[in-house]
């Protein structure tokens, strides 16, 4: 299908005049080429047309985002009024606010699509220009696209706020409280885990669908959420034979994955030493993920053996830490240090992404995570290049969390083309997935990739010549994972542009859920 036709099919009619005039600019390119050779005057006039279209689109997005922020603020104040006035806090009023928030959420989704469609249109025009004229406008235009970044417009902040307000409406004025990790040890649960790739065109829609059923999980509700809160960085360890890679890929008994993880900025003092073990022998063959926290200043000494598990345990005893916790941390620390030493493990690969997690507080039956901006960055010295300074450091000091990391050398970085959705469902109590989740994962919006591993994927990209075995899913990268849009699935609009969720109005969905809850 020609892109001009594809663009027309993706236009949201009420905003049609604000899209890039793709056919007009393409016509200018073609007619001038047919009429005469491309001149400096043609180039200046075409560049002026491109600049005008970019400004038009960017200004529209900025205005819409401002409008969305104002509508969210209005909903927040109205909900606060309902909370403070019991006589006004009726189910009907909360339902009205729920519908208003749903309408805003649909606009966020439409604006996200609008942004991606127009960014793609501009990229297509630049490519055609360079092909037909022999010039390199695409590279020269990078600075303008950074100044008016259509590919970086972030809608996460709006989604987080809408989710929090939706949660209050869902609970009729009460905000969900509690610790999402409270209760039993998370490793004690049997979980059915499934992984999916999501094309960038569908990311915001998938987030919105999940958010209508599960709130976005905020770990620290005492601080205002900011984009850096979603950042997760991990340093994976391996040796030059890639024994950990091979063990995990083949799912060998006792196969390990060892990583150091931190949340948010690189200035964070909390670093988590994590170990995943497949069929751990000390747990009668149960797979387990365990971890403990270290202050960042203690990570290097721990890694090189200068800070032992005994010393960590002794310090915890001085703080009157629970004896069982101390024993567990000592066991993990000793095991990790033994593997680092005996297997000669070194920092190999950094994996970065921004995570949106969805879960009801105090309810671990279902947890969903959506990871975007997935990026791999080399940390090793295998090719003779010293990437970490000093060389014994556990991570590079020249890399932060500023995706897309344009300052990193191209040979040191891999930007994964899709988002990764992971669902974790408790199965030890016979838990079945809710109908809305089954509908989502069977839809055109996601592409299932069983046993996808972030580390295995990054390792096989950078170190393929050293690896005898490769993951099965590499072939999936050669196909277009987008599928034809299914009828009555996902977020759509009626002929009068009213929001429809899987072909139904939001109020009808809520009434059906309430009936099911009453019958249960």
- Residues 154 and 18 occupy one common structural domain: yes
Confidence of residue 220 (pLDDT cuts 50, 70, 90): confident
Confidence of residue 152 (pLDDT cuts 50, 70, 90): low
How distant, in Å, are the alpha carbons of 265, 340, 381, 388 from that of 384? 29, 21, 5, 12
Rounded Cα gap, residues 504 and 489, in angstroms: 10
Q: What is the pLDDT of residue 177?
A: 59
Q: What is the pLDDT of residue 115?
A: 92
Rounded Cα gap, residues 94 and 234, in angstroms: 41
Mind listing the pLDDT tens digit for each residue in 319-370?
A: 999 999 999 999 999 999 999 999 999 999 999 999 999 998 777 788 999 9
Residue 485 inside a domain? The answer is no
Q: What percentage of the chain has pLDDT greater than the value 70?
A: 92
Evaluate if residue 181 carries a pLDDT over 70. Answer: no
- Tell which residue, 408, 407, 405, 412, has the closest CA to residue 385: 412
Q: Are 309 and 346 in contact (CB under 8 A)?
A: no
Evaluate if residue 189 carries a pLDDT over 50. Answer: no
Which tokens in the block code for residue 152?
A: 């970086």
Q: What is the pLDDT of residue 241?
A: 94
Mind listing the pLDDT tens digit for each residue in 244-254?
A: 999 999 989 99
Q: What is the pLDDT of residue 186?
A: 42
Q: What is the pLDDT of residue 182?
A: 39
Residue 494 inside a domain? The answer is no
Which tokens in the block code for residue 287?
A: 């797979």
- Residues 36 and 158 occupy one common structural domain: yes
- Residues 61 and 200 occupy one common structural domain: no
Q: 332: phi > 0 → left, psi -120 to 50 → alpha, else beta; which?
A: alpha
Confidence of residue 449 (pLDDT cuts 50, 70, 90): very high
Report which of residues 302 and 427 the model is more confident about: 302
At 441, give phi and psi (nearest 5°).
Answer: -75, -15
Range name among 153-167, 398-412, 436-450 with the lowest pLDDT average:
153-167
Q: Where are the alpha helices (DSSP H) in 85-200?
A: 91-133, 137-140, 142-147, 156-170
Q: Number of structural domains, the chain?
A: 2
Partners of residue 290 on adjacent β-strands: 275
Evaluate if residue 312 carries a pLDDT over 50. Answer: yes
Residue 344 inside a domain? The answer is yes
- Residues 271 and 407 occupy one common structural domain: yes
Q: What is the pLDDT of residue 93?
A: 93
Final residue belonging to a domain, choices 132, 150, 175: 175
Evaluate if residue 400 carries a pLDDT over 90. Answer: yes
- Tell which residue, 102, 16, 115, has the closest CA to residue 65: 115
Mind listing the pLDDT tens digit for each residue in 256-274?
A: 999 999 999 999 999 999 9
Q: Are 406 and 398 in contact (CB under 8 A)?
A: no
- Residues 145 and 193 occupy one common structural domain: no
Contacts 24+ apart (CB under 8 A), 3-7: 3/120, 3/121, 3/124, 7/117, 7/121
The residue written with tokens 């932060």 in the block is 400
Residue 504 inside a domain? The answer is no
Q: Are 228 and 265 in contact (CB under 8 A)?
A: yes
Tell me whether residue 454 is one of the annotated catalytic residues: yes
The predicted model scores a pTM of 0.84
Report which secondary-structure segment, H or E, holds 216. none
Confidence of residue 149 (pLDDT cuts 50, 70, 90): confident
- Residues 193 and 73 occupy one common structural domain: no
Mind listing the pLDDT tens digit for each residue in 87-131?
A: 998 988 999 999 999 999 999 999 999 998 999 999 999 999 999
Region 18-24: mean pLDDT is 94
Confidence of residue 32 (pLDDT cuts 50, 70, 90): confident
Q: What is the pLDDT of residue 328?
A: 94
Region 186-196: mean pLDDT is 68
Report which of residues 504 and 512 the model is more confident about: 504
Q: What is the pLDDT of residue 222?
A: 73
Q: Are 310 and 327 in contact (CB under 8 A)?
A: no
Q: Are 206 and 370 in contact (CB under 8 A)?
A: yes
Confidence of residue 174 (pLDDT cuts 50, 70, 90): confident
Range of the domain at 109: 3-175
Q: What is the pLDDT of residue 455?
A: 97
How distant, in Å, are the alpha carbons of 242, 335, 461, 475 from that of 465? 11, 30, 9, 17
- Residues 146 and 191 occupy one common structural domain: no
**DSSP label at 478?**
G
- Residues 190 and 75 occupy one common structural domain: no
Instruction: Name, in order, each residue with C-beta under 8 angstroms of 431's C-beta and a sequence gap of 6 or more.
Output: 365, 366, 425
Residue 250, judged by CB atoms within 10 A of its CB (0-12, 13-18, 19+), counts as exposed
Residue 515 inside a domain? The answer is no
Final residue belonging to a domain, choices 175, 203, 224: 175
The catalytic residue among 195, 276, 424, 454 is: 454
Range name among 178-187, 363-372, 478-487 with the lowest pLDDT average:
178-187
Q: What is the pLDDT of residue 33?
A: 79
- Residues 263 and 169 occupy one common structural domain: no
- Residues 337 and 428 occupy one common structural domain: yes
Q: What percentage of the chain has pLDDT greater than the value 90?
A: 66
Confidence of residue 286 (pLDDT cuts 50, 70, 90): confident
Confidence of residue 1 (pLDDT cuts 50, 70, 90): low
Q: What is the pLDDT of residue 516?
A: 63
Residue 256 inside a domain? The answer is yes
Strand, coil or helix: what is 292? strand
Q: What is the pLDDT of residue 320?
A: 93
DSSP letters, 141-172, are: THHHHHHS-TT----HHHHHHHHHHHHHHHTT
- Residues 235 and 149 occupy one common structural domain: no
Average pLDDT, the chain: 89
- Residues 157 and 246 occupy one common structural domain: no
What's the CATH number where 307 sits?
A: 3.20.100.30
Final residue belonging to a domain, choices 122, 148, 175: 175
Range name among 21-25, 89-93, 149-153, 160-164 with the lowest pLDDT average:
149-153
- Tell which residue, 213, 217, 117, has the closest CA to residue 491: 213
**Radius of gyration (Cα) for the chain, nearest Å?**
26
Q: What is the pLDDT of residue 513?
A: 65
Residue 496 inside a domain? The answer is no
Write a three-state SS string for 339-367.
HHHHCCCEEEEEEEEEEEEECCCCCCCEE
Range name among 384-388, 461-465, 498-502, 515-519 with the lowest pLDDT average:
515-519
Evaluate if residue 147 carries a pLDDT over 90. Answer: no
Q: Are 289 and 274 in contact (CB under 8 A)?
A: yes
Residue 311, judged by CB atoms within 10 A of its CB (0-12, 13-18, 19+), counts as middle
Confidence of residue 191 (pLDDT cuts 50, 70, 90): low
Residue 512 inside a domain? The answer is no
Evaluate if residue 478 carries a pLDDT over 80. Answer: yes
């Amino acid at each position: 299908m020609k892109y001009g036709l594809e663009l027309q099919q993706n236009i949201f009619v009420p905003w049609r005049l604000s899209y890039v005039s793709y056919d007009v600019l393409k016509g200018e390119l073609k007619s001038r080429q047919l009429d005469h050779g491309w001149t400096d005057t043609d180039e200046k006039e075409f560049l002026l047309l491109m600049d005008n279209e970019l400004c038009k689109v960017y200004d529209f997005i900025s205005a819409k985002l401002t409008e969305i922020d104002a509508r969210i603020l209005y909903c927040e104040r109205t909900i606060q009024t309902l909370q403070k006035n019991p006589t006004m806090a009726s189910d009907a009023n909360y339902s009205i606010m729920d519908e208003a928030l749903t309408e805003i959420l649909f606009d966020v989704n439409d604006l996200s699509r609008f942004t991606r469609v127009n960014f793609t249109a501009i990229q297509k025009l630049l490519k055609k220009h360079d092909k037909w004229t022999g010039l390199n406008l695409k590279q020269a235009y990078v600075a303008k696209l950074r100044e008016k970044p259509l590919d970086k417009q972030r809608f996460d902040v709006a989604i987080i706020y809408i989710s929090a307000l939706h949660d209050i409406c869902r609970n009729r004025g009460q905000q969900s409280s509690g610790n999402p990790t409270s209760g039993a040890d998370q490793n004690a649960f049997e979980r059915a885990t499934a992984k999916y790739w999501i094309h960038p065109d569908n990311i915001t829609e998938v987030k919105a669908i999940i958010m209508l059923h599960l709130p976005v999980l905020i770990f620290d509700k005492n601080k205002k959420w900011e984009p850096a809160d979603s950042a997760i960085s991990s340093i994976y360890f391996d040796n030059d034979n890639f024994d950990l890679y091979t063990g995990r890929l083949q799912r060998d008994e006792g196969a390990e994955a060892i990583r150091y993880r931190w949340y948010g900025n690189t200035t964070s003092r909390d670093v988590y030493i994590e170990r995943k073990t497949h069929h751990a022998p000390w747990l009668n063959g149960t797979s387990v993920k365990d971890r403990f926290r270290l202050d960042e200043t203690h990570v290097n000494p721990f890694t090189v053996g200068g800070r032992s598990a005994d010393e960590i345990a002794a310090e915890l005893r001085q703080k009157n830490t629970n004896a069982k916790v101390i024993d567990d941390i000592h066991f993990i620390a000793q095991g990790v240090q033994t593997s680092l030493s005996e297997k000669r493990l070194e920092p190999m690969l950094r994996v970065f992404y921004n995570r949106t997690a969805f879960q009801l507080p105090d309810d671990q039956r279902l947890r969903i995570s959506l990871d975007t901006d997935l990026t791999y960055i080399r940390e090793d010295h295998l090719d003779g290049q010293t990437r970490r300074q000093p060389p014994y450091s556990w991570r590079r000091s020249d890399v932060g969390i500023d995706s897309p990391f344009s300052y990193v050398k191209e040979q040191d970085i891999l930007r994964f083309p899709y988002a990764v959705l992971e669902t974790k469902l408790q199965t030890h109590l016979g838990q079945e997935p809710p109908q809305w989740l089954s509908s989502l994962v069977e839809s055109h919006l996601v592409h299932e990739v069983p046993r996808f591993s972030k580390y295995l994927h990054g390792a096989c990209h950078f170190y393929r010549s050293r690896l005898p075995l490769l993951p099965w899913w590499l072939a999936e990268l050669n196909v277009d994972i987008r599928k034809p849009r299914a009828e009555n699935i996902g977020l759509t609009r009626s002929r009068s542009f009213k929001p429809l969720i899987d072909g139904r109005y939001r109020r009808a969905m809520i009434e059906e859920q309430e009936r099911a809850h009453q019958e249960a």
